[in-house]
Structure formats: structure tokens, C-alpha cells
A and B are shown apart, each in its own frame.
Chain A
Amino acid sequence: MISLLCALSACSSSDDDAKDMQQPVITDQDITANPIDCQVYQRGETMPFHYVFTDDTELGNFNIEIHNNFDHHTHSTSSVECALADKKTPVNPWIYNHDFTIPAAQCRYDARIDIPIPDDIDPGDYHFMVRLTDKAGWQQLKAVAIKIQ
């Protein structure tokens, strides 16, 4: 009995991390996800972020970043192409960058964040970036092209 307990308790946490070889997943399955590619928002309104995160072992944390795409760069995580406005130089672009924690021991998390859109930012094309990291350290990126009017 004692031997069995020793064998089971040894190195349990590091073994769990080592076994996790899969990236977490950002999915819109069974929900109305927001934002989606080419979605249009108005300055001054609230963007209701909603996606579902899953992982085979345990979720860790996530980050949401919003930056302008006035230079027409790409992040190659979506096959959808939206019509872009002409290139322009940023004057007062929206920059949003926040980290969020996920409660411990979760393999599925319904992520909902209300993000107020400032009313004095440059309108135009933006990228909405979600980075989901699981407890082991694997990271998944989802980049969504949106427009602010």
C-alpha cells in the first residue's frame, strides 16, 4: 500500500504537463461567436467578445489584443478576406492589450468579455487577436479582421 502511494504521488504535476502535447482550441461551436471576420462596429459601442476555449488537459490564461490594420498586414489564421479600406497613417489608433485568467482545473471555458470601443479612435480596419495558452504552455492564436466606423 505504501509503495503504491509513493508511486502514484511522485512527480504528478510535471508528468501532467509533459503529457499535454496538444494546443488548446478556440472554437465557436454551439455558440454565436463574437467578433467574427469582417464584422463592423461603431465607435462608442461595446463589443461583446464571446468564444469557447477547450483543452485536453487544462486551460491556463488568455490575452486579447486589438491593433490597427491600416498597413494591410496579415496574420494568416483565417481564410476569410475582407475588403480593406485604403492604407493610411495612424493618428490615434485603438490599442487594446489585456491578459485574463481562467479558473483552475478547467478543460472548457465560456469566455465572455465586454469591451468598450473608445469614441475618439481612428476608424478603419483592425485586427482582433485572441491568444489562448493552456497550463502546459501551448498557445493558440485566433486573428479576426474587424472594422470600426
Chain B
Amino acid sequence: MKKYIYMSLMMALMCVFTLSFSSCSSDDDDKLPAPEITINEANIEGDELCTLADVVAKGRTASILLVIESKDGAVKVTRPVTDSKYIGVLNIDGFHVHTDIAGKNVVEGDVLKMTVTDAQGLSTTVKKSITEEEDEDE
């Protein structure tokens, strides 16, 4: 009986040591890839800039930032996107945000920079030249 209790205690101790040293395997794995962004549209529509994009973030989206700059890099508009539907997700199909640009002198040829940072702290920034709304259907 004593031998059985002794063996059980030893097994329990071994289990605790094993878990302590190994921890969860995902903690030790290499980081997941940085977010991937495809901007499909950055179009001036009256006093708003319409941004359409697709995002894949294997490390889950943590923050999204839209910045509009002139060709020479002067920042005209900064827009953090905090909608809960876009944060904490692995993918965004059809990211669609309208940004107020009234009085900001945003013109065709300016540059939209979209930055997505994931929960690991990895960031990706992509740029797209801003277009003007078309008057007629193609």
C-alpha cells in the first residue's frame, strides 16, 4: 500500500515538473506572420474618403490606422479605426470605412497609408494613391 502511495506521489510530482518546464507549446513557437493588407479602393466621395480593403492577420488584429498624406509626405488626416467588428479578428473581408476629409484639402494623387498591427505587435503598412469619384458608371 505504501509503495502504491509513493508511486502515485512521484507520478504527480513528475507531471507538475513536466508541465512547468514545457508550458504551452504555442508560447515558445515562432511568431505568426505579420498582417497582410490589400487596399481595393481609396476614393474621394464628396467630403469623405471611401476605403475598401481586405486583411488577413494570423496574429489577430489589434489596431488599424488610416493616414492620408500628400505626395511629399505631409500628413493631412489621421484616423484610428476602432470598430469592434474589425479588432481581434483573423481576417477582414470587405473592410469598408468612410473618413471625413472636409476642409483637409485631400486631392486626387494624395496617398492613403493603412497600417494594421496584430496582437503580437507586428505591423504592416501599405499605400494606395487616392482617386476621385467617377461621375458615370463604366
Instruction: Decide if A71 touches B24 in the complex (CB within 8 Å).
Output: no
0 or 1 for each of A39-69: is its CB under 8 Å from B? (1 = yes): 0000000000000000000000001010100
| In the complex, number of A-B residue pairs with CB atoms less than 8 Å apart | 66
Dominant secondary structure at the B interface? mixed
Flag the segment in B45-53, B72-80, B102-110, B122-130 that touches A. B45-53
Instruction: Decide if B60 touches A139 in the complex (CB within 8 Å).
Output: no
The one of A3, A72, A133, A143 in contact with B11, judged by C-beta atoms closer than 8 angstroms, is A3
Answer whether residue B85 sits at the interface, using C-beta atoms and an 8 A cutoff.
yes
- Give the B interface residue count (CB, 8 A): 30
Alpha-carbon separation in the docked complex, A67 to B45 (Å): 14
Instruction: Decide if A2 touches B8 in the complex (CB within 8 Å).
Output: yes
Answer whether residue B81 sits at the interface, using C-beta atoms and an 8 A cutoff.
no
Closest B residue to A136 by CB, please name it: B90
Partner-A contacts on B (CB < 8 A) = 8, 11-12, 14-15, 18-19, 24-26, 41, 45-46, 50, 52, 60, 83-85, 88-94, 96, 133, 135, 137
